[in-house]
Structure 1
Amino acid sequence: MALYALLVGIDEYSGPVARLNGCRNDIDAVDTLLSTRLPGEDYRPLRLTDRAATRAAVIGGFREHLGRAAAGDSVLFWFSGHGSQAPVPAEFARFEPTGLMQTLLCADSRHDGVPDLYDKDLAVLIGEITARGVHVVAVLDCCHSDSGTRGPGAAGAADGPWRAPLAVRGQPPFPHRPPDGALLLPFGARPADRGGTAPRRGMAPSRPGPEPHVLLAACHSDQYAVEVPTDQGDRGLFSLALLERLESLGLGATCRELMTGARCRVEEAARGQIPVLSPAAEAVVDRPFAGGAVRAARSPVTMRWLRGAWEIDAGACHGMPAGTPSDPALLTVHDSDPPLEVRVERVLTDRSEVMPVGWTPRPDRQYPVVLTGVPLPVGTVALDGGPDDAADEVLRLVAAALGTAGPAGGPSPHVRVLDRDARTRRLPDARVGVPRPATVRITAADGRPIAPDVPCATPDDADRVVRDLEHIARWRRVKDLDNAVSGLSGAVAVEVVAVRDGESVDSGARPPLRPGPDGAVHLGYRRGPDGWREPEVFIRLRNTTDRELYCVLLDLTDRFRIHPGLFPGDWIAPRHTASAAWGRAVTMSLPPGRPAVPGATGTDWLKVLVSEVPFSSQAFDLGRLGEPAATAVRGRPGGYAGVLDRLGLVALHRDADVARPQAGDWTTAILTVTVSVPRD
């Protein structure tokens, strides 16, 4: 199985089209990752950059290069450049309620009569490939890119820490409809067929047959995609976040898994840019990024003796985490008693070298193993320079407090300052600025405040700032916790059902709400006689497997609180659906202190932790930001010693007294729920 890639990055546009700065850098990074993760014969790229990326060259790249892919192969189209819009021709008007098509600007677009590359063109080109049974993934890092294998208005780019405003990858709409004959037709089609073969937005042509392709879009159709500078040149924010996720999870991760993390990173870094996965409700997005079968569950990982060493059959392409000598990835022989543990020494592309810890395996045996120790990264913070020496002194106080916040006066075990070299590889989790004298503001990467401003003029003040930074880091560590090599992946789903008037207990009869294209369930306040009324929902946990599983449901709020009260821990029977909150309605309201005014929003992340063995939810309980930190729970919390007991201790407390937990498999699933007050 080969991966054919068409990588297009355009910085050098000619006027009046504005040039960009990070598109070639994006393509270099994509090409480097794929070439190092895939064997040479399995990776077949074609790069088109700057002036070489003409409209004709891109079309030729599809038909002549990607067209070589056969059934069972995979195709990747990655575009970094300008996105725009154009009026829709009359024959396509019924497919475009906005009256506009999405477009990609090639190097020669809008010069000498050369049109943009229209979404209808891309749908035809992709449809020709999917019709042959080829898995196609399109990544569009440009403005207006949702359904761009198809958008009105412009949501202004956010001011951020990099530049004000951020560079955007969009151009004004082209004022004229494409001339007759400008749009591509499928091979063999007659002009009279054009209306009948019109593709749906973001899909292959509407006739039945080929499986739809996957679109990973940088933003919604009414939004801008932004570039951000790094120490090694500008990059597209979406490309940077998506590649960070690919490096972490590997090419074996599904498109849905990749977009979950990438969307979080983009939203944390910039206002008004929300990546979109399409078609979110279809199984094709649960195929691995680099191709393969739809993955409802992974096979267990096996340890074996090969070439004079112990190794497991899971590597970087499967999402195996590498870890560090001080925080390694750990696996345990499944159902071993006492637990038989191995440490990951080196992660390779398709396998990993491991070392048994305190026991001697038999070379003539193979051992099924499960991940029991996940390397959890330390949170990172960027200290922004101040406008004067007094501001710099405030930041020095914070840096000094971080350097002594750990046990015995050592560095904080939860947060470290992100040095300039590291900023080329990842975005900071938070930033610290000095908006006023002797005052600290903690913000997301785009400068959006995520905690109230606090005074900082003394070492004691700086200690309080560090406690807030550590709290945020601990919250994010739990939110990001997952197991890429679990045999239970997809085992339990979180479902939300809207409460109807007069209901107080879930009857279980109605289907759940379907997430939107962004993967979130969206709820709205309703206007009542006494003002705005909060939405109410029933929450369910559905076991999709034929085995009994132990589950805990965590509610992570956007005020950095984690509480397990909705479903603090119990077994769910095979093929059974359990109700959270004992089947009662759950009010989804804005957080305290955020008034219900038009446009106000709030977000909760409902995260289910699933395990073959019981574990305690106590280790995952985290109060609101600013509340005193809970004392680390030592030993066996709640009387259990499961894998997730250990991970909870590590994630929230960096305290892992459950040294060798009972060796059961585990997984997680998360559902985003947004609540908003309508603007009208």
Structure 2
Amino acid sequence: MTTLYALLVGINEYASAEVPNLRGCVRDVQSVAAYLRRNNTDTRLRIKFRCDREATRDGVVEAIRTHLGQAGPEDTVLFWFSGHGSQAACPDWAWFAEPTRQLQTLVCADSRTGEVPDLWDKELSVLLDEVGRHAAHVAVVLDSCHSDGATRDLPTGPTAFRNVPEAAPRNLSSLVSELIQHTAAADRPEHIAMTACRSTERARETVLDGGIRGVFSWSLLRALDQLGPLATYRELAAAARTGVEQRVRDQTPQLRPAASTLADHAFLSPQPGVHGAAMRMRYLRGDWEIDAGAVHGLPVGDGLRVGVRGGSPTQQATVTTVQAQHSLVLPAGSWAPARDRQYPMVITHVPLPRLTVSVNGYCHGAVERLLRELHTAAPGGGPSPHVRDVEPGSPADLRADVDPSGMVRLGDAHGRPLSEVPAGEAVRALEHIARWTLLSTLANPRSGLAGSVRLEIMEAPAGVLIAPPVGGSVLEPTGGELTLNYLRDDLGWRSPEVFIRLHNTSDRELFCVLLDLTPRFRVHATLFPGDFIAPRARAAALDGRGIRAYLPDGMTPEPGVRVRDRLTLLVAEQPFGAEPFLLPELGGRLSRERGVWNSRGLLEQIGDGVVRRDLSPAEPDRGSYDWAVESLTLVTAVPD
């Protein structure tokens, strides 16, 4: 039998005069314990509370090390914090860890008394990393303001707040020892976190069910009761966000890392669940909306429709307004969706343009079968929303040559081979390539943000583990391409290694996601899955670690071999999710084999299965927020 080790921290009473008391935090964690006792009959429970005067900084750190640290390879860990939080200026030596130049902090019961500091989010992270090296699964819930990264202000009325001042600077001697030892570690385990709000927002507590409660904690526990124990973190985060936003404004719960396979695990389960739909429909303040917009590639124009994944043909909605990060929809026909539910959605119809394909072959029966499948590939039996056929011999984006043996050879417009697949998988492969191709051409040419964030590819000298915040040998591309050459030494060919920085040259904070479109038609966000970058600041891919550019598995380093990766940087004024863009390698699911990009000893796993959101070139953004795309082709080559 597995064990769930839970550390529940709730702080209403603070020792420092500068930190106002709260009223609902202890009740939050008591409600969490009651939920765990009701719903974990097959798991041993080991619950430890740290409330009020017991929730000192040393007390919380000690409980993480000794209580949560007991978890073994089959056990699950839950750390839940309800209390105040704050921010602190990020020291220069940790620049790569915080693109916003602000650390988030948890305010413990004795923080800011004497020499006692807050608990930095980075300290909490490495403490939980140590736990995660031995446990099967680590989950974190933070109900505090600025909690996306790691606070909570108490309103005295519907709109009043008490702010916790920024924390004072700290010296290295005040940090937990684990932070100094493991900042640059390449093998840090991953944990999943649900937080009450963005790092720039404040969390509320108010009267709910007859008592003062944290709005996020209450909404998350309510979602757990409604969706059941098999609900995934992604589903729970979406439901909790709806619950929060229906009750308060300017508080947006977050899921980190949203682009990881951990997001599709059931709550407190180390086993991945079934990959859900990439977008959801919900009712918010008088309108139905989906969490996909122009920045995700949804086209502006008539004819775009969505439907409930796995639902009936009558459960569809028409997209009426495409905005930057989300879109308004109108339920079609007589469908009256319940306003207190969220619906997983897929695209059922995308307006033209679609990529074109020329289907050729001497076996007319096999050709006709492939065309018939192409004309009925959409949900409901309609034509594929991604690819349409043209007359043989006509110019086309793709080419499909049908072999009498039952195989189909796929090629591009210039006749270069792309893949060979069985006839029954040809349409799926064509649609996969079409989505990848459309994403590679995604652009917003009239954007005011064009050129505001620069991709900086730097040489990674031997022995240097972390990218410098400024300077370094920046490699300049030629014609939108940058070639990274394998090097030859006494042991043979050695793959090139670089650092990647994202430089915000503007005077505003901008949200960025860096996608890698690989030569085998995979799309991943491992390098920089999404965060704000402060004005005139730099952020680093993979937390500043070195990145190796490998040839794909199965390709031998031989003189003249070249492969191309397309780095696509998406920039916006407001945050958006990376997961709608993710695609596995053509013909497969994302797995643990080495990919084209890999850090030192670390290949972060993201996504699981083909993305169910459709992409096509976007019209200029007509929503409230601007967005832009910057692209660079990286050529990994073995020189002659």
* TM-score normalised according to structure 2 size: 0.48
Query: Greater RCO between the two (CA within 8 Å, min separation 6)?
Result: 2
* TM-score normalised according to structure 1 size: 0.46
